[in-house]
Chain A
Amino acid sequence: MPKLSPTMEEGQIARWVKNEGDAFEANETLAEVDTDKATMEMTALSGGTLLKILKPEGDTAALGEAIAIIGQKGEDISALLDEVSKNGASKAADEKPKSVSEPEPTAGGKAAEPTEEVRKEAPAATPASNSYGGRMIVSPIAARMAADNGIDLRTIAGSGPQGRIIKRDIEEALAGGGSKTAAGAKRFTPSTIVGAAGYSDEPTSKMRQVIATRLAESIGPIPTFYLTVEIEMDNVLATRKQINASLEDDAKISVNDIIVKAAAMSLLKHPFVNASYQDKSIRFYDQADIGVAVAIDEGLITPVVRGANLKGLSEISAEIRDLAAKAKAKKLQPEEYTGATFSISNLGMMGIKEFTAIINPPEAAIIAVGASTPTPVVRNGEVTVRNLMHVTMSCDHRVVDGATGAKFLQTFKQMLETPAMMLL
């Protein structure tokens, strides 16, 4: 059973796409597997024949447990079968034919051929992961250069095969460090999740470390505090009405779409809210990847709108519609629900006026959005009715202080009360 989602520990065979005796090409789907998050396609790393299914549909297998035997047609698999029955959850044997249980089928790198022959093409440099079975891989010279220059290798995305950190990466990091002081601009490292926000890790100051430790001791793993703001939504509602007047029914934007956009725009002005506390460093993200909580039958999942600060309302709206539909069908891919930089939970449509949400680590904050309700208010000495919405932000105090959070909410409130601000 290969690892098909970042958090899965076992998988259930939903369906075998290939039957025993079927031949297949590399990258063809062999089976569909229910993981803890979604139904994933398990694809073949290389061509062959499905010789024996060990785990029929409905069966569950732990990671690494043999689920089938593949090899060449007509090959003798009795020895392998013996081994599997003896060891139960045995890893695949080294020689062919082998069980389809070893590496991640989605990872690009093929297993190294035990020959000195040069492969036609060097494996593509994928910054997608700089770990090799969870272990960071670093070339010896890169490791030494990093040590000599006090560079934390965890902050470097390797550009070699399997994410190996190589000399070039250290040289670039060193060059980047130099130009950073020159230009004063943050240097962002690409994320390990495709399409997700890049980040830069800034060393944590002593004061910040002490604050973090003391607050955490006092309240638990994430010292959370809450800030509530009241926002007048009349202008948003009017703007939405104007926009939707010219849109088809299936393309109309929601209030929530505008909230997502406003949050994203505000986050870029308040980097400490678009960040993660990382012990020795604070990780700042270069774009706002907004997690939007979606209720599904079995619970809750938070699909991510990548780079929402860069996207228009229609794009955000269409994306959320699409992600929510996928979430309900359990078809979300891991990269679609992991790696947000900030989250929004909106229970307004369920009549909730005000609530608090739980932070989704390692994000620094989440906002809980209540219903916008017509409320009598005093404006210019007169009592009048306005649509008020209560937003409560849960903040990780290790990175967001009260004033930082309040300033963010001020910007957020301003954006919503004067939607034209979002054009800036």
Chain B
Amino acid sequence: MALLTIRDALNQALREEIIRDENVFIMGEEVAEYDGAYKVTRGLWKEFGDKRVVDTPITELGFAALGVGAAMAGLRPVIEFMTFNFSILASDQIINHAAKMLYMSGGEFKVPIVFRGPNGSAFQVSSQHSQALEAFYANFPGLKVVMPSTAADAKGLLKSAIRDDNPVIFMEQERMYGMKGEVPEDDDFTIPLGVADIKREGKDCTIVARSMTVPMALEAAEKIQQEFDVSVEVIDPRTIKPLDIDTIVSSIKKTNRLVIAEESHSFASVGAEITYQVMDHAFDHLDAPIKRISTVEAPMPYARNLEAAALPSVDKIIAAVKEVCYI
């Protein structure tokens, strides 16, 4: 095991996959000579050169389209968006082309491409740069959506995403790049897509969290255990689509209570989808209405205090757990 930041774990995954498969290359704004806006691609251009690590102009639609074409022609592009907010410009390529190509070509063209970058809020980057877009992409058949919350998951899932023959939206979190975790020292270490991970075992209440809300949920669980002697299970689906609903449902059959913590806005969110699926599969096992903590329904404010108030927090999660546990 090695103690790595999520940033370095992603870097290792990219490096190992570039070495492993000559068809893998990285493309995006500032990914090469500048080592990446968030240094995820640090050192890769120096090591592998222009052919494998490609700087682009500020043209999201253009380089996303280049990626889709390259993937159709047999390469395995990893397209970095400086943030997923900018992917909105490229969404026609992602949704109308990458996601549909295999189907509309009658199976002729697969599109093995990864679109990756930070998703969600950062540090006071205001309304246009703080969006969590997982529900948006997860809504379209043909796309896989992955959101790691630990260094090991980041590495293992990114490697699986690159090896997957379908377009994968791989969402990181800027606030989490510096978080450290143990990562297996194995250059063939992968984590399969579509498998949830129980980050903490518990018996009284389940929290389903992803990305930034996973560390929050773990902290909340610890505090609740200390203060109320209530044992909370924390589940990280890791892959939003396909969703491992079975792991969530078996947990609820044990705990009878569910809180969902997510960074996106609440309306039509992934949490809303999980709520429906739990109701569909485990209605008879619920002891309380499902509670959901999301970012408030407003554009993200710039002010630090308002930004903090708008986002999920440990305290909000604790309050929700207390409510579903009737304490």
A binding-site residues for B, Cβ under 8 Å: 115-120, 122, 125, 139-144, 159-161, 166-168
Q: Does B287 contact A (CB under 8 A)?
A: yes
Main secondary structure of the interface of B (DSSP, over half): mixed
Which residue in chain B gives the minimum CB-CB distance to A144? B284
Q: What separation, in Å, do the CA atoms of A167 and B291 have in the docked complex?
A: 17
Given the complex, which residues of B lie within 8 Å of A119, measured CB to CB?
Answer: 319, 323
**What's the minimum C-beta distance from B44 to chain A, rounded to whole angstroms?**
41
Given the complex, which residues of A lie within 8 Å of B326, measured CB to CB?
Answer: 122, 125, 159-161, 166, 168
Q: What separation, in Å, do the CA atoms of A118 and B326 have in the docked complex?
A: 13
B binding-site residues for A, Cβ under 8 Å: 256, 266, 283-288, 291-294, 296-297, 316, 319-320, 322-323, 326-327
A122, B286: Cβ atoms under 8 Å? no
B256, A167: Cβ atoms under 8 Å? yes
Q: A115-B297, A141-B286, A142-B287 are in contact. List 19 more A-B contacts (CB 8 A).
A: A117-B296, A118-B291, A118-B293, A118-B319, A119-B323, A122-B319, A122-B327, A125-B326, A139-B256, A139-B288, A140-B283, A141-B284, A141-B287, A143-B284, A144-B285, A166-B287, A166-B288, A167-B256, A168-B326
Taking each of A118, A120, A160, which has the highest tally of chain B beta carbons within 10 Å of its own beta carbon? Answer: A118
Given the complex, which residues of B lie within 8 Å of A125, measured CB to CB?
Answer: 326
Given the complex, which residues of A lie within 8 Å of B256, measured CB to CB?
Answer: 139, 141, 167
Q: What separation, in Å, do the CA atoms of A207 and B118 have in the docked complex?
A: 74
Known: A140-B285, A141-B284, A141-B286. A122 touches B323 (CB 8 A): yes
- Can you pick out 18 interface pairs between chain A and chain B where the beta carbons lie within 8 Å of each other? A115-B266, A116-B266, A116-B291, A116-B293, A116-B294, A119-B319, A125-B326, A139-B256, A139-B288, A140-B284, A140-B285, A141-B284, A141-B287, A159-B326, A160-B288, A166-B326, A167-B256, A168-B326
A140, B286: Cβ atoms under 8 Å? yes
Given the complex, which residues of A lie within 8 Å of B320, measured CB to CB?
Answer: 118
A139, B286: Cβ atoms under 8 Å? yes
**What's the minimum C-beta distance from A172 to chain B, rounded to whole angstroms?**
12
Instruction: Give the number of residue pairs across the A-B interface with Cβ within 8 Å.
Output: 51
Q: What separation, in Å, do the CA atoms of A168 and B287 have in the docked complex?
A: 9
Q: What separation, in Å, do the CA atoms of A120 and B287 have in the docked complex?
A: 21
Taking each of B287, B293, B320, B322, which has the highest tally of chain A beta carbons within 10 Å of its own beta carbon? Answer: B287
**What's the minimum C-beta distance from A82 to chain B, rounded to whole angstroms?**
31
Which residue in chain A gives the minimum CB-CB distance to B286? A140
Which residue in chain A gives the minimum CB-CB distance to B283? A140
Which residue in chain B gives the minimum CB-CB distance to A161? B326
Contact of B287 among A116, A122, A139 (CB under 8 A): A139
Taking each of B288, B319, B322, which has the highest tally of chain A beta carbons within 10 Å of its own beta carbon? Answer: B288
Given the complex, which residues of A lie within 8 Å of B266, measured CB to CB?
Answer: 115-116
A116, B288: Cβ atoms under 8 Å? no
Please list the 3 inter-chain residue pairs (A to B) with the smallest Cβ-Cβ separation, ordered nearest first: A118-B319, A167-B287, A122-B323
**What's the minimum C-beta distance from A128 to chain B, rounded to whole angstroms?**
15
Q: What separation, in Å, do the CA atoms of A161 and B322 have in the docked complex?
A: 13
Known: A118-B323, A122-B322. A141 touches B291 (CB 8 A): no
Given the complex, which residues of A lie within 8 Å of B296, measured CB to CB?
Answer: 117
A141, B322: Cβ atoms under 8 Å? no
A118, B283: Cβ atoms under 8 Å? no
Q: What separation, in Å, do the CA atoms of A122 and B285 have in the docked complex?
A: 21
B316, A118: Cβ atoms under 8 Å? yes
Given the complex, which residues of A lie within 8 Å of B285, measured CB to CB?
Answer: 140-141, 144
Which residue in chain A gives the minimum CB-CB distance to B288? A139
**What's the minimum C-beta distance from A140 to chain B, rounded to whole angstroms?**
5
Q: What separation, in Å, do the CA atoms of A143 and B288 have in the docked complex?
A: 12
Given the complex, which residues of A lie within 8 Å of B293, measured CB to CB?
Answer: 116, 118
Q: What separation, in Å, do the CA atoms of A406 and B272 have in the docked complex?
A: 65
Given the complex, which residues of B lie within 8 Å of A115, measured CB to CB?
Answer: 266, 297
Given the complex, which residues of B lie within 8 Å of A167, measured CB to CB?
Answer: 256, 287
Q: What separation, in Å, do the CA atoms of A160 and B256 have in the docked complex?
A: 14
Q: What separation, in Å, do the CA atoms of A115 and B294 have in the docked complex?
A: 10
**What's the minimum C-beta distance from B35 to chain A, rounded to whole angstroms?**
39
Contact of A120 among B283, B286, B319, B327 (CB under 8 A): B319
**What's the minimum C-beta distance from B320 to chain A, rounded to whole angstroms?**
5
Given the complex, which residues of A lie within 8 Å of B291, measured CB to CB?
Answer: 116, 118
Q: What separation, in Å, do the CA atoms of A168 and B326 have in the docked complex?
A: 9
Given the complex, which residues of B lie within 8 Å of A139, measured CB to CB?
Answer: 256, 286-288
Given the complex, which residues of A lie within 8 Å of B297, measured CB to CB?
Answer: 115
Taking each of A125, A141, A160, which has the highest tally of chain B beta carbons within 10 Å of its own beta carbon? Answer: A141
**What's the minimum C-beta distance from B300 to chain A, rounded to whole angstroms?**
16
Which residue in chain B gives the minimum CB-CB distance to A160? B326
Q: What separation, in Å, do the CA atoms of A139 and B266 have in the docked complex?
A: 24
Q: What separation, in Å, do the CA atoms of A120 and B316 have in the docked complex?
A: 9
Q: What separation, in Å, do the CA atoms of A143 and B287 have in the docked complex?
A: 9
Which residue in chain B gives the minimum CB-CB distance to A170? B287
Given the complex, which residues of A lie within 8 Å of B323, measured CB to CB?
Answer: 118-119, 122
Which residue in chain A gives the minimum CB-CB distance to B291? A118
Q: What separation, in Å, do the CA atoms of A118 and B220 have in the docked complex?
A: 15
Q: What separation, in Å, do the CA atoms of A143 and B327 have in the docked complex?
A: 20
Q: What separation, in Å, do the CA atoms of A116 and B316 have in the docked complex?
A: 11
Given the complex, which residues of B lie within 8 Å of A118, measured CB to CB?
Answer: 291, 293, 316, 319-320, 323
Which residue in chain A gives the minimum CB-CB distance to B318? A118
Which residue in chain A gives the minimum CB-CB distance to B295? A116
Q: What separation, in Å, do the CA atoms of A166 and B205 have in the docked complex?
A: 14
Which residue in chain A gives the minimum CB-CB distance to B267? A116
B292, A116: Cβ atoms under 8 Å? yes
**What's the minimum C-beta distance from A130 to chain B, rounded to whole angstroms?**
14
Q: What separation, in Å, do the CA atoms of A142 and B283 have in the docked complex?
A: 11
Which residue in chain A gives the minimum CB-CB distance to B316? A118
Taking each of A140, A144, A159, which has the highest tally of chain B beta carbons within 10 Å of its own beta carbon? Answer: A140
Q: What separation, in Å, do the CA atoms of A122 and B256 have in the docked complex?
A: 18
**What's the minimum C-beta distance from B182 to chain A, rounded to whole angstroms?**
33
Given the complex, which residues of B lie within 8 Å of A141, measured CB to CB?
Answer: 256, 284-287
Q: What separation, in Å, do the CA atoms of A141 and B319 have in the docked complex?
A: 22
Given the complex, which residues of B lie within 8 Å of A160, measured CB to CB?
Answer: 288, 326
Which residue in chain B gives the minimum CB-CB distance to A139? B287
Given the complex, which residues of A lie within 8 Å of B284, measured CB to CB?
Answer: 140-141, 143-144
**What's the minimum C-beta distance from A121 to chain B, rounded to whole angstroms?**
8
**What's the minimum C-beta distance from B92 to chain A, rounded to whole angstroms?**
31
Given the complex, which residues of A lie within 8 Å of B316, measured CB to CB?
Answer: 118
Given the complex, which residues of A lie within 8 Å of B283, measured CB to CB?
Answer: 140
Q: What separation, in Å, do the CA atoms of A166 and B323 have in the docked complex?
A: 13
Taking each of B297, B320, B322, B326, which has the highest tally of chain A beta carbons within 10 Å of its own beta carbon? Answer: B326
Given the complex, which residues of B lie within 8 Å of A140, measured CB to CB?
Answer: 283-287
Q: What separation, in Å, do the CA atoms of A125 and B283 have in the docked complex?
A: 23
**What's the minimum C-beta distance from A119 to chain B, rounded to whole angstroms?**
7
